[in-house]
Chains A and B, each alone.
Chain A
Amino acid sequence: MLKGTVTSAEDGVTIPGVTVLEKGTSNGTVTDIDGGYQITLGNGNAVLVFSYVGFAKTEIQAGNRSTLDVQLQMDMEQLNEVVVVGYGTQKRKDLSGSISRITSEEFMQPSTGSFDQMLQGKVAGVQINQTTGAPGGNVNILVRGVSSISGGNQPLYVIDGFPVDGGSNSDMSGYGGDSFSSANMASNTANRINPLNSINPSDIASIEILKDASATAIYGSRGSNGVVIITTKRGNYEKAQISLDMSYGYQEVANKLDLMNSQQYADFVADGRDNAWIFRGGSIDDPNEVRNAASRVRPEFRNPESLTIDTDWQDVLFRTAPVRNAQLSSRGGTDKTSFFISAGYFSQEGVVINSDYNRFNLRVNVDAQISNKIRIGTSTYGSYGYGRFANTESHYGQGGLLSNALAASPTIPVYDDEGNYYFNQADVTDGLGFFANVLAVSEGSEDRRNVMNVYTNNYLEVDINENLMFRTSAGINYSSSNIRLWRSNAVPQYTSLNYPATAGATKIDNINWLNENTLTFNKAFDNKHFLNAVAGFTAQKNSSDRLSAGASDFPTNYVTYLSGGIVNAGTQTLNEWALLSVMARVNYSFDSKYLFTATIRRDGSSRFGNNFKWGSFPSFSVGYNISEEEFLSNADFLSNLKIRASYGISGNNQIGNYTHIGLLSTRRYINESGLIPGLVPSSLANDDLTWEISKQTNFGIDLGLFQDRVTLTADIYRDLKTDLLLAVQLPAASGFFSSVQNIGDIENKGLELGLNTVNIQKTNFTWNSNLTFTANRNKVLKLATEGGRISNSSYQITQVGHPVSSFYLINKLGIFMNSDEVEGAALFHPRTQAGDIKFEDVNEDGVINQNDRKIVGNPWPDFIWGVTNNFELGNFNLNISVVGSQGAETYIASGGALRGSNGVQNGLALQDRRWRSEEDPGDGIIPRAIRSNHALGFGTSSNFLFDASFIRIRNVMLGYNMPKELVSRFRLTGMNVYTSIANVFTFTDYPGYDPESSSTGDNVVNAGIDYLNYPLPRTYTLGLKITL
């Protein structure tokens, strides 16, 4: 029998809850409230292991004693922290590259389906944007600015050693194309389920984000956009622990828009039509009979006060919705084998009707020591996600739900007298195309998707001698996803009220296999020189098979699958890529003071043209731990000071699998017997096609003060991206619109700061803060032609000297407040009048037209930041995180739906501040209502460009650790109750639902266009965590 007390070496305070384990057995106990313990040992040679969070694990030989008091040292986390680097690990203090690490304690917030949302604001240098509020929806991770114009911008994700291409194909801006014919239904393959969503956040132990070239170059042609390494929890060689985490929350739309009510709407419509009639030469007193159809005003709109119905269509479309999460996991092992097993279920209903997302997940991580020198292990994971998705984006003429709810007149009811959906075209838009009741559209459209992911990565490690280890691994990642689309004939399309029903189905099967082989060498010479080296060879291949079909001619709406109609469209595509690589890295440190790292990787890829199949990617970095020097050993306040510098070359291979091959595509035509196929060249061959290059220089400083009570990491970098793939626009006379060539240069330079402070640390109360700040400047240096320009979208261009995708619009200066201002001004249309928009005559030619477009903003923030404050008072814990973004702009492509001045659709209540007359000029921003486009410069002006800066209280969480007595009465080791609110409030001037939304999803280069994405929910959660 051995007993004793465990105290903290720092201040002598006793520590309850410390695990005391007899090493190599499952014989253990836990210190009581006074830090005391008692344990009966199995044998006299027992070694006792003392472990507790925040303290260094301590092992002591029990010997013959009967009393053993132990003092535990505070874990100098920052310095002894082990960081996962590519193909290995390194101690933070030996690191000379720029890597950010987040552990699960730091980012765990409940009830969000995907881990990437939780990282927002916590990692310097990384911009994380939740582009849509849809359950299962896309989140963008952008490391150190936008890097590529035509290639992908997604970082490489390495999940338990398995590299996975980022990118989710979630660009919704083209959804539906021009019609929902069966052929288009079959080709609607944009993704609504974020692939990162398949990873259960509770399984994650840590996330490392590799930012500079010395860290990413080891990933060669895939490292230029940064690398996100995700490590899941593994077992420990201790007594097994079981934890259960359950939470229940409910969500509501975080920011509902303030639209016009019936009175305001009637006034607005009357105003718009009167002005249109006056423009045609009539007078405001003319009765409806003499007016043209577009200028007539319904009699009841002349008397707004008489309108009794005031429908809030947003309330019809939105609802409060629950979200549930239950995760069960177990972790433990014997002295030879350890395991981590988890299983869980996540279910989220959406705040827009008829939408939801659910996921089942199961994981088994096992590590086993077969013999003294051989270890094996596996990380195996399966998940199944499925849900129903709502088509919120796009115009109501194509079934866009939000556009419908925002445009619908508040003067009509939701149901008619018989309880059917109210529909009377004349009420709704007076001749603008069909516009069914939003509930009918929601019910008539189905978008059901599911994704199954099975993934396993298995390794074998052999210790060849005490310095050399060989490791080989083999893994497979298999995913199968299904999309089922349906539109009944109750969903109109532009001018067809009963556009016939069509259905589409798509199935995508993807297999990716990986084999990696590495030799690792570790040796210390004279205890002063430490050498670590890795060399390896890997092969990876991906095959993707996509099958899609579309059907039309449905006799009824009962069967919403292909079988209910006639399948008459569809295709199958096969896509493959292959990668072979050799890599090596050497780390050398002298006396823990001077650090050197060099890496090189050589990649051969099937994506590259025949003249450039293989590429080399080297890097080197140096670091100097100044705080280890003699002359600083007396500086007690300085716990850490390191400066580091790195330079390296990495690449981006997200360039399409077959871009270097000249291809033909089908075009159908007709002859007397029916359809006949034709083929036309669709792309020009290019044997010189190769990866995009990133040459990055990084300087960093790591500072720790007062025993690491204050730690600061600062990095400044310059990343030159060259040989960017650009679709070089070709003159139409060549027969091709563009060809992809390596020709562009972009530069990203910036500053990142990460600051951690332990503000107050007393026995009963601690307060620490974490701040991140990132400022990145993006500039295009070279394009295909001198002074060249690329149109990214109808509103954006990429031009030398400016950031990628800058907004290129006719600049709105304000409103003509009175007719004097109109006199002599440059006009868009000869009959512009007071109350219309005033544009800037950029080329000073006296006329406003397309030649007056200029760059008026860009979608990239000037800086982003995050502040997290963590308070602990006794057993209570309060965590508040705030994030902010400053300087980004967004173009609301649905501008007509929110602030259209036509006097036809409903819009923001801000319309009340429009110009009505010279005596009543409004706020000078919103033009007069008139049912004609001449005054608005329809399409490409900055009238619908808005500042998307915001400050958002991202999460507030309050938790309570049940006291030990209560907990042990239930025979548990821990119990924690928590409540939290996510997306508490957003401070912003942006008039849309969410300043972060982007309809182009992971197509980051076209960011900044809002076409009414799914609104962000605010979630209130209550949860319980139990450990046994």
Chain B
Amino acid sequence: MKKYVLYILTLLAGTSCSDFLELQPEHQISDGSFYKNANDFETALIGSYSSLQNLYDANLVYVGELTTDNAEIQWTTPSIFEVELDEVNFTSANNFLNSIWQISFNLVSQSNNILSRIDGVAMGNQIKDQLKGEALFLRAFGNFNLVRTFGPVPIVEVAFRSPGEIAAYDMSRKPEAEVYQMIEEDLNQAVSLLSGVNGLGKSRASSAAAMTLLGKVYLTKMEYSNAETALKGVVDSNEFSLESDYKSLFTNGNDELLESIFEIKYMSGNLGVGNGFSSTFTPARFDMDIFPNQMQGSGRILPTPEMADAYEDGDLRRAASIGDSVRVISGGFEKELYGLKFVDFTTGVTGDGGINFTALRYADVLLMYAEALNQNGNQDEAMNYLNMVRDRAGLPDLSGLDQVALADALAHERRVELFLEGHRWYDLVRTGKLLTVMNTYFERNSLNFEVQDYNRLMPIPLRELDINPSLGQNTGY
């Protein structure tokens, strides 16, 4: 009797109530119900763009500036990882490098998500091309950051839908040449898919942004003819011009300027989408009176004294880039060197700065173009573009320089034009000047540090090696 009762109960339980156990989250979107139309893909892209905020605030700026003769730390208890950057003594535990790795691969993976699904969804060809172009741009952007920071890195071209697929994929590090090949293919495709697209705004990818990035890629590879061709496209498009007021590029209201090619947007208002440059670039004092609420700086990335002296006399850019003194609460001024770019003096809340970051701008293009022209033997045209930039800065033209001297002049011009925008380290590495410039800098300032040859590549993050020891570490670390 008992047995039958048991059977009946089991039957009852098993058959009727399976719906009872199928519960879907009502307040969240699952991947089965998303990626259905153009709007969904655009929303996914926006999610991808938003990771750039974290990349530039301030991981890429730390790695691009603090490691060089441009900037140093000026507060009393820096984290061990900030010290590593300042002293060019990188270890694999460095959290800034880890962030760059993660955010860059996030860009790659989200683009893969979009690219792998978009072909199967019905939508207008125009919009499909645009979305694909943007995804390809972001993928190349991520890969470029990875290869120029870490050297050989894994290549991922598919989207994953289960842990099993990830385990089965080949995640070994591929030679730089292969990575670059993928980047170039992606960017070339992006250039064509995005040509004719406008009205998206400069926080989104565009054909010009893809060409600019392509130029930068070729310069890094020292393929100067290719660089010249790519950048010529941007110059000839006549879409961009230099802003007459240099300062306007880096203060409130710097949205959609004519000089901007690709910008990272930030917004104040305590909404979690601001940036922290105000405190990163200003001194760690407790008595400054330069921000509302008496907000104080944290002295993380401050100009070195040499940087402050690097500007030529009459250079209008200095006043917009470097401050020499701060007003203090007690009245009066104290001498301090600090950065001015992207520092938002209208907000008194840490991390809530609303000034956009110029990731790619026209002055950069002109200087890169000049560099390529110079290397290709065309000094005159090169000097032409160099002087455009100098002119905006209120400096006299240069003339009659030979290739070597012009290369030096361009390197110097890049330094003062693009200070605090995250370029210096990568420029030094790609032009082969890292060791000479940095080691003489350390010597001149009696600092007991030395840059080694292997420092041109940064160490693979510890987390990745812990998960997959077969990745292998870069030499020297």
Note whether A and B form a binding pair: yes
Binding site for B on A (CB under 8 A): 178-179, 181-184, 293-294, 425-426, 429-434, 489, 493-500, 502, 519, 521, 533, 535-537, 539, 541, 552-553, 568-569, 571-578, 580-582, 584, 602, 604-606, 613-614, 657-658, 661-672, 674-681, 684-687, 728-737, 739, 741, 785, 789, 791, 830, 849-850, 902, 904, 931-934, 938-939
**Which residues of the other chain, A, contact B270 by a CB distance below 8 angstroms?**
181-182, 500, 502, 552-553, 568
**Smallest CB separation, A337 vs chain B (Å):** 31
Tell me whether A495 and B295 are in contact (CB under 8 A): yes
> 8 shortest A-B CB distances, which residue pairs?
A735-B109, A678-B47, A678-B46, A680-B47, A294-B76, A669-B50, A662-B31, A498-B293
**Which residues of the other chain, A, contact B77 by a CB distance below 8 angstroms?**
432, 902, 904, 931-933
B398 sits at the interface (CB 8 A): no
Tell me whether B23 and A606 are in contact (CB under 8 A): yes
B380 sits at the interface (CB 8 A): no
**Smallest CB separation, A279 vs chain B (Å):** 12
Distance in angstroms between the alpha carbons of A517 and B458 in the assembled complex = 65
Tell me whether B91 and A850 are in contact (CB under 8 A): yes
Distance in angstroms between the alpha carbons of A521 and B5 in the assembled complex = 12
Of B21, B32, B105, B463, the contact of A578 (CB 8 Å cutoff): B21
**Which residues of the other chain, A, contact B298 by a CB distance below 8 angstroms?**
494-495
Of B13, B28, B46, B269, the contact of A581 (CB 8 Å cutoff): B13
Of B28, B76, B79, B294, the contact of A658 (CB 8 Å cutoff): B28
**Smallest CB separation, A363 vs chain B (Å):** 31
Stretch from B190-198, B310-318, B348-356, B360-368 forming part of the interface with A: B348-356
Tell me whether B272 and A426 are in contact (CB under 8 A): no
**Smallest CB separation, B362 vs chain A (Å):** 20
Of A179, A552, A614, A681, the contact of B350 (CB 8 Å cutoff): A179
B162 sits at the interface (CB 8 A): yes
Distance in angstroms between the alpha carbons of A584 and B10 in the assembled complex = 11
Q: Which residue of A lies closest to B154 (CB)?
A: A733
**Smallest CB separation, B477 vs chain A (Å):** 10
Tell me whether B93 and A850 are in contact (CB under 8 A): yes
Tell me whether B271 and A668 are in contact (CB under 8 A): yes
Tell me whether B13 and A661 are in contact (CB under 8 A): no
14 inter-chain pairs at a CB distance below 8 angstroms, sorted by A residue, are A179-B350, A432-B77, A496-B295, A497-B294, A500-B349, A553-B270, A664-B29, A664-B30, A667-B51, A681-B31, A685-B161, A733-B105, A735-B159, A933-B83
B163 sits at the interface (CB 8 A): yes
Indicate whether A684 sits within 8 Å of B162 (C-beta atoms), given known contacts A663-B30, A663-B31, A731-B464: yes
**Which residues of the other chain, A, contact B452 by a CB distance below 8 angstroms?**
none
9 further A-B pairs in the complex, CB-CB below 8 A; given A183-B271, A571-B27: A499-B349, A537-B9, A662-B161, A669-B273, A675-B271, A734-B171, A735-B109, A741-B163, A931-B77
Stretch from B220-228, B282-290, B420-428 forming part of the interface with A: B282-290
**Smallest CB separation, B85 vs chain A (Å):** 14
Interface string of B72-103 (1 = CB under 8 A from A): 00011111100100000001110000000110
Residues B267-313 near A (CB distance < 8 A): 267, 269-273, 279, 284-287, 293-298
Q: Which residue of A lies closest to B163 (CB)?
A: A739
Question: Which of A575, A680, A732 gathers the greatest number of chain B CB atoms within 10 Å?
Answer: A732
Tell me whether B23 and A657 are in contact (CB under 8 A): yes
Interface string of B443-458 (1 = CB under 8 A from A): 0000010000000000
Binding site for A on B (CB under 8 A): 2, 5-6, 9-10, 12-14, 17-18, 20-32, 34, 40, 43-51, 53, 75-80, 83, 91-93, 101-102, 105-106, 108-110, 112-113, 153-154, 156, 159-163, 166, 169, 171, 201, 203, 255-256, 265-267, 269-273, 279, 284-287, 293-298, 348-351, 448, 462-464, 466-468
**Which residues of the other chain, A, contact B45 by a CB distance below 8 angstroms?**
678
| Number of A-B contacts defined by CB within 8 Å | 291
**Smallest CB separation, A920 vs chain B (Å):** 26
**Which residues of the other chain, A, contact B166 by a CB distance below 8 angstroms?**
684, 730-731, 734, 736, 739
Tell me whether B171 and A580 are in contact (CB under 8 A): no
Tell me whether B32 and A662 are in contact (CB under 8 A): yes
Indicate whether A789 sits within 8 Å of B466 (C-beta atoms), given known contacts A681-B31, A685-B31, A733-B108: yes
**Which residues of the other chain, B, contact A737 by a CB distance below 8 angstroms?**
102
Q: Which residue of A lies closest to B267 (CB)?
A: A670
Distance in angstroms between the alpha carbons of A182 and B349 in the assembled complex = 12
Q: Which residue of B lies closest to A184 (CB)?
A: B272
Distance in angstroms between the alpha carbons of A582 and B101 in the assembled complex = 50
Q: Which residue of B lies closest to A292 (CB)?
A: B76
Tell me whether A425 and B80 are in contact (CB under 8 A): no
**Which residues of the other chain, B, contact A578 by a CB distance below 8 angstroms?**
20-21, 23
Tell me whether B43 and A679 are in contact (CB under 8 A): yes
Tell me whether A537 and B34 are in contact (CB under 8 A): no
Distance in angstroms between the alpha carbons of A182 and B53 in the assembled complex = 20
Tell me whether B13 and A735 are in contact (CB under 8 A): no
Q: Which residue of B lies closest to A933 (CB)?
A: B77
Indicate whether A580 sits within 8 Å of B17 (C-beta atoms), given known contacts A500-B349, A676-B46: yes
**Which residues of the other chain, A, contact B286 by a CB distance below 8 angstroms?**
425-426, 429-431, 434
**Which residues of the other chain, B, contact A496 by a CB distance below 8 angstroms?**
293, 295-296, 348-350
Distance in angstroms between the alpha carbons of A483 and B329 in the assembled complex = 38
Tell me whether A677 and B46 are in contact (CB under 8 A): yes
Q: Which residue of A lies closest to B292 (CB)?
A: A498
Q: Which residue of A lies closest to B111 (CB)?
A: A735
Of A430, A575, A580, the contact of B21 (CB 8 Å cutoff): A580
**Smallest CB separation, B57 vs chain A (Å):** 13
Distance in angstroms between the alpha carbons of A978 and B305 in the assembled complex = 74
**Smallest CB separation, A298 vs chain B (Å):** 14
Distance in angstroms between the alpha carbons of A739 and B161 in the assembled complex = 11
Tell me whether A179 and B29 are in contact (CB under 8 A): no
**Which residues of the other chain, A, contact B295 by a CB distance below 8 angstroms?**
495-497
Of B5, B31, B153, B201, the contact of A671 (CB 8 Å cutoff): B201
Of B91, B93, B255, B266, the contact of A672 (CB 8 Å cutoff): B255
Tell me whether A580 and B43 are in contact (CB under 8 A): no
Tell me whether A493 and B350 are in contact (CB under 8 A): yes
Of A519, A574, A665, A681, the contact of B26 (CB 8 Å cutoff): A574
Tell me whether A735 and B113 are in contact (CB under 8 A): yes
Distance in angstroms between the alpha carbons of A434 and B154 in the assembled complex = 44
Q: Which residue of B lies closest to A553 (CB)?
A: B270
**Smallest CB separation, A833 vs chain B (Å):** 15
**Smallest CB separation, A8 vs chain B (Å):** 45
Tell me whether A734 and B109 are in contact (CB under 8 A): yes
**Smallest CB separation, B73 vs chain A (Å):** 12
Indicate whether A664 sits within 8 Å of B34 (C-beta atoms), given known contacts A496-B348, A537-B9: yes
Of A569, A676, A729, the contact of B467 (CB 8 Å cutoff): A729
Question: Which of A178, A493, A499, A791 gathers the greatest number of chain B CB atoms within 10 Å?
Answer: A499
**Which residues of the other chain, A, contact B467 by a CB distance below 8 angstroms?**
729-731, 785
Tell me whether A537 and B101 are in contact (CB under 8 A): no
**Which residues of the other chain, A, contact B80 by a CB distance below 8 angstroms?**
933, 938-939
**Smallest CB separation, A774 vs chain B (Å):** 34
Of B76, B266, B448, B466, the contact of A670 (CB 8 Å cutoff): B266
**Which residues of the other chain, A, contact B161 by a CB distance below 8 angstroms?**
662, 684-685
Tell me whether A734 and B160 are in contact (CB under 8 A): yes
**Which residues of the other chain, A, contact B49 by a CB distance below 8 angstroms?**
669, 678
**Which residues of the other chain, B, contact A934 by a CB distance below 8 angstroms?**
83
Tell me whether A495 and B279 are in contact (CB under 8 A): yes
Of B18, B43, B162, B256, the contact of A686 (CB 8 Å cutoff): B162
Distance in angstroms between the alpha carbons of A572 and B28 in the assembled complex = 10
**Smallest CB separation, B104 vs chain A (Å):** 9
Tell me whether B48 and A499 are in contact (CB under 8 A): no
Tell me whether A732 and B466 are in contact (CB under 8 A): no
**Smallest CB separation, A188 vs chain B (Å):** 14
Of B2, B21, B91, the contact of A605 (CB 8 Å cutoff): B21
**Smallest CB separation, B257 vs chain A (Å):** 13
Of A568, A672, A791, the contact of B256 (CB 8 Å cutoff): A672
**Which residues of the other chain, B, contact A573 by a CB distance below 8 angstroms?**
27-28
Of A293, A493, A732, the contact of B464 (CB 8 Å cutoff): A732
**Which residues of the other chain, B, contact A575 by a CB distance below 8 angstroms?**
25
